[in-house]
Amino acid sequence: MEKNQLKHHFINLYLIALSDGSFDKEELEVILKIASEKGISEEEFKEFITDPTNVTMEIPEDFLSKIKLLYDFTRVILADGKIEDDEKKVFMRLCGNYNFDHEESEELFDWLIDLAKKDLPTNRIDEELQTLIN
């Protein structure tokens, strides 16, 4: 992912994390962990969110990018150890924006939450998808 795409990705995660009306310390820690996995420092992340000029919430174009953003979001959802109704509603709304139907979204939520509970890094999603397909 190029820097501008990463900026959008992290601003999306930040906005999604805020969508339930609160932003917990644990959510920030998970976002920073995801940033580190992608080679983004804490300082760069702070720059992203403190200067989000000309940045809008972008919908990823390809399937794998959509799944990876949704996976990162499930990691943020689980940061505080509980799944809030508002967080799942936002997840389902995002899935609708990504053209997943309700049943697919429910299955995707359950699958990604199970993966997030294993604390897998995002780059392992490719492998998990291959395993699921085969």
pLDDT in tens, 112-133: 999 999 988 888 888 888 888 8
The residue extents of the domains of the chain are 3-133
C-beta pairs of 81-89 under 8 Å, 24+ apart in sequence? 81/26, 83/113, 84/20, 86/19, 86/20, 86/21, 87/19, 87/20
CATH class, range 3-133 = mainly alpha
Q: How many helices (H) and strands (E) does the chain have?
A: 7, 0
- pLDDT of 53 reads 64
> 27-82 pLDDT, tens per residue?
889 989 998 998 888 888 888 778 766 556 667 788 988 899 899 999 999 988 88
Average pLDDT for 21-28:
83
